[in-house]
Amino acid sequence: MSRLALIGLDGFDPDLVFNRWIDDLPNLKSLMDEGVHGRLASTVPPAMVPGWTAMMTSRDPGQLGLYGHTDRHDRDYDDLQENDSYSVRPRTVWNHLSRLRLQSFVFGVPQTWPPKPLKGQLVSGPFTPNKEVHWTHPREIAAEVDRGADGDYVIDVRNFRTENKDWLIQQVYEATRRRFAVVRRFVEKKEHDFMMMVEPGADRVQHGFWRYMDPECIGYEKEGRLETTIHDYYVFLDQEVGRLLNDLPIDTSVMVASCYGAKRMKGSFRINDWLMREKLLKLKKKPEEPMPLDAKMISWPRTSAWAEGGFIARIYLNVQGRESKGAVAADSYEGFRDELKGKLEAVAGRDGTRLGVKVYKPEELYREVNRIAPDLIAVIDDYHWQAAGSVGNESLFFEGSEMGPNESNHGPDGIFIWDHPAKVTPKAKDPYSIYDIAPTILEYFGIEAPEGIAGESLFQG
């Protein structure tokens, strides 16, 4: 087979791309017309970590043992720890290609820091602390990356949750321009067999500007100057994709994917305050003002459950014999878990109707459950609400996000487009699965997919 390029557009939403704005995105439309396209069902949670790693390994979060950007790494009551590249145990696509001496160029993919050796080049993605650390492989290409980005490559836009909207959009556009300029510089050398890049700009823009285009979003503002910001960035990104397509070697098959989409924000549900009202979470003393929950604040022998907030709620039980100061008897674990699940799913919103909480046990979602998983995972109103982890608030609900200014949540479906070779007829699926991409790439290069993967190749037959 010839070369293959995977262009990752983090947060690109299928409704915006396929339904609302497709006529303004001629380069993506051309790829769609020549190949296949559709929604791409994401991971639970739909997030950078574990989403992109799941895509490149065809392993679900339970198989990976990665349930978010941070996780419990032991049964102590310490704060959660970050997951980085060393948290990834299964082989990625480029690991498989390296074993056959095929060259990969991996650029800006989340959870690739610290960079691990491969046959080719790698520039680590979001969550890289800064450029003072080792952030490329090999190390010496860091200088070339900076040169290709007008002297200063921007790994990600820091502090993108801000009220300074003019600063935000300027930063995102500039970071995107520089990222694509560097990628074009490297692909023009025609040294790679497989190229993958991830551009996080759409996710950053959607978090910052959704309320200006969506009357049903919290804090909606009919601000003419900002109403088309997300649309205009999608158009700009389509233009950058077009420039990259022109510079890719002519024998390149192209995939475009996002590992999740976007949902308007309706508000946040304060999960730990709710657990306190249910007398399941006990603090040593009542907070004088709202504050983040800290393990040192909790009276563990009297606490049955606590939670981490975010795009979803991750709920942990304090089990006797499992945690050192457990309060839930081990032989009543399942019954307690079922009871808590039922109570959460019955939670009413401000208007008295059900909030729409859907609670899962990890073994219901994943093929395996490795490392330390949450005992329950709660999706609130089909991702329109976030979970807030702070304590000491008067109300269980608020029209905002604890992450800072934030106007969209992650949606459960991304996009998939494949301008496949003429002799390949891919399977049509609705939706495609995030887990199908890795085995499809491996078969493209004549590599047998490993056992135990969560997806299937999209090659027919």
- The Cα–Cα gap between 209 and 303 comes to 39
Answer yes or no: is pLDDT of 460 > 70.
yes
Name which residue leads in pLDDT, 456 or 216: 456
- The Cα–Cα gap between 141 and 122 comes to 9
Rounded to two decimals, the pTM is 0.97
- The Cα–Cα gap between 36 and 158 comes to 35
In this prediction, residue 425 carries a pLDDT of: 86
- The Cα–Cα gap between 347 and 280 comes to 15
Minimal CA–CA distance to 362: which of 372, 371, 374?
Answer: 374
Q: How confident is the model at residue 224 (pLDDT cuts 50, 70, 90)?
A: confident
Average pLDDT over residues 143-169: 94
In this prediction, residue 461 carries a pLDDT of: 61
In this prediction, residue 222 carries a pLDDT of: 83
Average pLDDT over residues 76-98: 96
In the chain, where are the structural domains located?
3-265+410-444, 267-405
Average pLDDT over residues 12-24: 98
- The Cα–Cα gap between 184 and 245 comes to 9
Looking at CATH, the fold of the domain delimited by 3-265+410-444 is given as Alkaline Phosphatase, subunit A (3.40.720)
Proportion of the chain above pLDDT 90, given as a percent: 92
In this prediction, residue 422 carries a pLDDT of: 81
In this prediction, residue 399 carries a pLDDT of: 87
- The Cα–Cα gap between 426 and 59 comes to 21
Answer yes or no: is pLDDT of 423 > 90.
no
Answer yes or no: is pLDDT of 88 > 70.
yes
DSSP per residue over 150-216, as a string?
A: TT---SS-TT-S-S-HHHHHHHHHHHHHHHHHHHHHHHTT---SEEEEEE-HHHHHHHHHGGGT-TT
Three-state DSSP class for residue 262 = strand
Q: How confident is the model at residue 1 (pLDDT cuts 50, 70, 90)?
A: low
In this prediction, residue 236 carries a pLDDT of: 98
Three-state DSSP class for residue 359 = strand
Average pLDDT over residues 293-316: 97
The overall average pLDDT reported for the chain is 96
Please enumerate in sequence order all residues whose Cβ is within 8 A of that of 144, keeping only pairs 6 or more positions apart, or say none: 185
pLDDT in tens, 379-417: 999 999 999 999 999 999 998 888 878 889 999 999 999
pLDDT in tens, 25-71: 999 999 999 999 999 999 999 999 999 999 999 999 999 999 999 99
Full strand arrangement of the beta sheet holding 432-433: 136-137, 120-124, 104-109, 194-199, 3-9, 252-257, 413-419, 36-41, 432-433
- What DSSP element (H or E) covers 121? strand 120-124
